[in-house]
Amino acid sequence: MSGDSPCTPSIDQVEDVMRFELARGDALLASAQPVLSHLLTSGDQVQFGDEIIARIRGMANHAARQLLDAVAEADDTLDRDALLARHAEALAEAILGDGGFLSHAHALALEIHWADKLHHRCGLDAVLTPFLQELAASPDGEIASAAMHVMAAQARFVQQQRRMELALGELPGDLFHRLLLAMRGCDELPEPAGEQAEAHLRSTFDEAKGRAGHMARLLLALGHKADRALAIDHAGLALFASALALASGLSREHAIYALGENQLARLALALRAAGLPQSALEAQFLLLHPEITLPPGFDGLSAERAAALLTLAQD
């Protein structure tokens, strides 16, 4: 047994490995500091809380599982468990590496967090809100059925979020497409099952059937009455966020971010851009941030100026 038997790596190889590990460690340490300082100074304990991070990770894992399930279904001879064990972790990592997915999942996690908080604070149910009940009983068949669709979609969403899951069909089309590309990028995915799964997933996807789609549809059908959704205690947080996005020109994700503790200006401007009068605006602030008072003179800001400020900020 001499030191240079073929099984023992040479000292050069060992050094290479150690050098690589050191460099990796350096990179990790270098990125740790800005992350830490951001966490410590962002001033919003919720935004990057453990619960939020866990939810985002859960949604990415669930998305990866659904993609791989589709592959397993495409070919009966494949072992689903083996497929998951082989690919799930790497695929979830790849999905978490997508900035668009991260912001989307982050916004959803914050949304459900806020919905829970409102439920505790003022007993507002995340699914069955006064406004939806009223609309579901509407004599206008189209509105009544759209309201029922929203209620069902919202109930599904809340259930999924309780399990930290996110159905692929809920994603916006471009994100869905990027997830499929991430699946394509998996090493040694069994073919042609992978291709068949992708084709099947694409053909069954329908953006209109997602929760966000149903809510936008309902709000558009309501026309001018959609303004009534701009009251959280009346319409619920989910429909409120969609209505705020439609009325203020923000994306729905940004509308949800605006609810956070360090985004008060965005919320105030979005509500104003949506045309809310001062008293209604203050009522919404009272629900979300009881401790905050609006800056004096804010009631003098017009909806047009507020919209312009928001647009400039997004450029």
Partner 1 sequence: MVGSSTLQTFARTDGADRLIAAQEPLAGLHARCGGELPGEIIAPALREVVQMAREYGLRLARRLRMADDREVFSMWVEVEPEGEGCQVAISNWRSEGAPPSSVSGDEHRIAMARHMAGLSARLGPRQELLAIEHHDADLAGLARAMTAGVGRPWTDFVALEGNVHQQPLHWRLLDGARLRVAGLPQLWTAHLMPLGGGDPGSGGFELLLVSDSVPPATAKPAPALEQRLNGIDRKIAPVLRQPVSRIIANAETIRSQLSGPLADEYTGYAADITAAGEHLLALIDDLTTLEMIDDDSFAPAPDQIDLADVARRAAGILGMRASERQIAVDAPKHGESVPAIGEFRRVLQILLNLLGNAIRYSPEGSSIWLRAESEGGLASITVADQGEGLSAEEIARVFTKFERLGRSDDGGSGLGLYISRRLAEAMGGTLTVESAKGQGARFTLSLPADEAATS
- Stretch of 170-178, 230-238, 261-269, 277-285 lying at the interface with partner 1 (CB under 8 A): 170-178
- How far apart (Å, rounded) are the C-alpha atoms in residues 281 and 239? 16
**What is the token pair recorded at 125?**
């149910």
- How far apart (Å, rounded) are the C-alpha atoms in residues 76 and 57? 29
What is the closest distance, in whole angstroms, from the C-beta atom of residue 105 to partner 1 in the complex? 19
With CB under 8 A as the contact rule, the residue among 14, 35, 36, 220 that binds partner 1 is: 220
Subset of 233-262 contacting partner 1 (CB under 8 A)? 246, 249
CA-wise closest residue to 142 among 212, 228, 214, 218: 218
- In terms of CB distance, is 215 or 231 closer to partner 1? 215
- Stretch of 1-9, 102-110, 122-130, 208-216 lying at the interface with partner 1 (CB under 8 A): 208-216
- In terms of CB distance, is 213 or 260 closer to partner 1? 213
∠ CA(36), CA(40), CA(45), 5° rounding? 120
CA-wise closest residue to 280 among 253, 307, 299: 299
239, 219 contact by CB (below 8 A): yes
- How far apart (Å, rounded) are the C-alpha atoms in residues 244 and 281? 12
Q: Residue 301 interacts with partner 1 (CB under 8 A)?
A: no
- In terms of CB distance, is 14 or 208 closer to partner 1? 208
| Number of residues this chain uses to bind partner 1 (CB under 8 A) | 24
Q: Residue 313 interacts with partner 1 (CB under 8 A)?
A: no
With CB under 8 A as the contact rule, the residue among 21, 174, 195, 299 that binds partner 1 is: 174
Q: Using CB under 8 A, list all residues that contact partner 1.
A: 142, 173-174, 176-177, 199, 202-203, 205-208, 213, 216-217, 220-221, 223, 246, 249, 304, 307-308, 311
